[in-house]
Chain A
C-alpha cells in the first residue's frame, strides 16, 4: 500500500473533473484519479450542444433559460441553482472558446447556435436557438479542449486508478473527508490518497439498464463510494430516457437532429409529436417525447414486424446539411444499421441516458450529509452530483453546461478550502475495506458469474423501472434486485492476477450497480406521483402537495450487518417561478 498526500484530489477526468482540475491546479497541489485515460470519458459521446443565452442569432436571455430549465425539470429544480447555471452559462461557453474550442460559427464569425428540446423564447412561445455546438461532436470537442488545457496547466493525472472507497472521519460530531482509496489497474496495488479536498466527478450510472447510451464504464462508482459511507443520494428515481437511441443498441442520436429539422414518425408516417406537444412538437422535453414514443408503440403504431420502434426521419433535409451538421450520427446509422439516412428513416427507441439524481451538493459543489449539513472537504460536480439543476428531467445541452459551470465552481471552492484547512487524520488501516473487498473477490470460489447477474439486473431494470412504472413493476424490480444482491455474495472471478485485472474490476462495478439500482427502485416506489422522468401509471399526475420535495436515500446498517435504505425528503428551493402545469 502506498500513501500519497495532495491538497486536492479529483475523482474522474471527464468534463466536470477536468474543468475542476484546471481551476484547482492553478490554486493547489492537485491529483486527478481516473479509471480511464481522460480522453476516454463519456463526455466525449455528447453530441448536440451546450446551452447559453448568448443571443448570437436571435433574441435570448438567461432568465428565459432559467425558466426553461425549471419547467423542463418539472419544478423539482432548485431555482437558485438554475439561475446560476443559466447566468454563468455565457462565461462558461466563452471560457471554452478562449481555451480553443472550435465552435460552429455564424457568417459574422460569432459562435453559432441551434435549437434544442425544451429551450424556448419568452417562456415557451417558440423554440429558440440557444445551443452552442461543434457539429454533432460538441462533447468530443469539450473533452479534447479541457484535456488540452489540463496539459497546458500541468495537471497531474493518475490514469487507470479506480477509486473504491471514500474515507470519512468524524471529528467532534462532524463528518469530514480524509481522502480516498484507489486500486491501480496496471499493478493491482492499493493507494491511499490523503487530501484536504476531494471532488467527485466520476459520472453516471446508466449501465444498470440494458438499452442505454452510456459507456460500459458508467457504473456509479463515486455515488456508491459515498453512499456506502453513510452519505445520502438525492432524487435517484429520476433517470432520463433519451428519445432517440439506435433501435436495440441504444447508441445516442442527438436531439440536434430534431433541432436541425428531423421529425419523428410512426408506422403510418404520421408526425405524432404534433398530438402530444402542439407548440414544441419534436422539440418537447425528453421525458415527454420518450413517453409519446412508447404510447405510439403500445397503441400499435410502432414500426417493423414487432412494432417496437419508431423512425427518426431526416430524409427531407439536404444531404449537405446532414454532412455539415450531423456527420457522426449519420455515420452511426450507416455503420451499425447499414442504412442510408439521406434516403431512409432511422429506427430508434428511447435509451437510458442520464441520472438526474446523485450525490447532493449545494451551489458551491459542497457535498451534504443531510438536508443542510456540509461535509467539510468533500465536493461533487457533473452527473455524479445532484445540485439540483435538472430536477425531474434534464434539458438537452444542460449537462455539458452543468459540468462546466459546476466543475469550475467545485474546482475553485475545493482548492480554496484546501488553503484554509488542515489534513484530517487518516483512520487506522485506511485501506482495510478495499483490501478486504479485493482479497475476498480474488479468493472467492462461488458459482455465480458477474456477467449473468449483470444481465439479469439490466433486463429487470429495462422491464420494470423504465419510461412507464407502476407499483407492481417497481416491486418486481425491488425483489429481483434483492435476489441479485444475495447472489452477488456468491460471485467469483476467473482472473486471479494483479496485472490489469479487469475481471476483478467488473465484479466491483457490478456491486456498485446493484446498490444503486436498489436505491433507484426504492426511491421510485415511494414517489407516488408522476413528474418529469419518473412516470407512474398508477399515479399519472404530478402531486405538488405531497411530492414537491427531493428524495434523500440513506444506507442504514443494522447490528447484524444487514443493510437497508431509509428515505427522507428535502424541500425544493423556489425563488421566482411558481409551479404551473407543464405543456409543450
Chain B
C-alpha cells in the first residue's frame, strides 16, 4: 500500500546524509567581560539541512568558536533549555530543522526578548520563574487526604490536559509584547500554569489563584495577540487558556 508518506519514508531511508549545504548563522553575541555592546557575528557552516538549529550551534561551538554560549540539554524539545529567537520567531533550537527556516538566507539567532541577556543566547530566567512561583503552581486541597488516590473522571482529567504540557521554556512569555513593555506582567507561561490548577477538579484554591491573576499585572493585561500560541513549542493553545481564565474571573465558574 504505497502512500505519499511511504515514499517519504523510502526517501528518508535512502538518504545517506551527504547532502550538505552551506548556511550562514547570524548570531547576536554579547559578553560583558569583553564589551558592553552586543554585536552580530556571522558563521558559515556546512550542514545537512535536516539537522536541527541546535546541531548548527554545536558545530560552531565545537569546531569554530568555543566561547559561543547557549543553554541546552535534552535536544528533543522536552527540557525547555534552548528557547531562542530564530529568524525573529521564538522557537526551540532543538525542534527547529534548518530546512524549515529558509537556509538560503542568513539565519538570525538571538536571545529571547524581555529578559536580561547575560551572555550570547543566555538570559536571566529568574523573573520568569518568579512569576511562575507567584501563581502557587501546586495542588491545594482541604480536609483529610484519602487513603487511596483522589478520583477524577477521564473527562475532568482531559479538561486541563493541554496546559499540563508546559515545559517552562519561556518561548511564550518572551514573545509577548505586553511582557516586553512591562516586566511586571505575569506573562502567558505563569497564567498557563495557573490554568492547569484552576481547571483541575481536585484543586480547591481556584478562587485564590483567580484573585492573584485579577491583579493589575494579571490576565487583563493580555491583548490577545496570539504571539504566545504561535511560539509554544508544545502546541499549547496559550491564548485560549488565558481567555478561559478571564472568563472564569467574570463568571467565577471553573
Contact = CB atoms under 8 A, between A and B. Distances in A.
Contacts, number: 175
Interface string A104-148: 111111110000000000000000000000110100110010001
B112 to A, nearest CB: 14
Q: Dominant SS at the A interface?
A: loop
B73 A40 contact: yes
B138 A347 contact: no
Given A499-B118, A500-B118, A40 B80 contact: yes
Contacts of B145: 98
B81 A45 contact: no
Interface stretch (A228-236, A257-265, A426-434, A489-497): A489-497
A104 B157 contact: yes
B167 A148 contact: no
A512 interface: no
A347 B167 contact: no
Contact of A499 (B65, B119, B151, B154): B119
Interface stretch (B7-15, B209-217, B241-249): B7-15
Given A37-B125, A216-B72, A494-B66, A94 B32 contact: no
Given A102-B157, A109-B151, A186-B118, A500 B76 contact: no
Interface of B: 3, 5-6, 8-9, 12-14, 16, 31-34, 50, 61-63, 65-67, 69-81, 95, 97, 118-120, 122, 125, 129, 133, 137-139, 145, 148-154, 157, 160-161, 164-168, 197, 200, 202-203, 235
A107 to B, nearest CB: 7
Contacts of B235: 331
B67 A503 contact: yes
A304 B157 CA distance: 41
Interface string A207-224: 000000001110000000
A215 B138 contact: no
Given A105-B153, A111-B149, A216-B75, A335 B168 contact: no
Given A102-B157, A343-B3, A498 B33 contact: yes
Contacts of A449: 62
Given A39-B167, A40-B79, A144-B166, 9 more contacts: A40-B74, A40-B80, A42-B74, A42-B79, A93-B149, A107-B154, A141-B164, A216-B75, A249-B76
Given A102-B200, A108-B151, A345-B9, A500 B75 contact: no
Interface in A328-387: 328, 331-332, 335-340, 343-345, 347
21 contacts: A39-B79, A40-B81, A45-B78, A97-B149, A102-B160, A104-B154, A105-B152, A106-B154, A110-B149, A141-B164, A151-B137, A215-B75, A305-B16, A335-B95, A340-B5, A340-B8, A451-B62, A499-B33, A500-B69, A501-B69, A503-B61
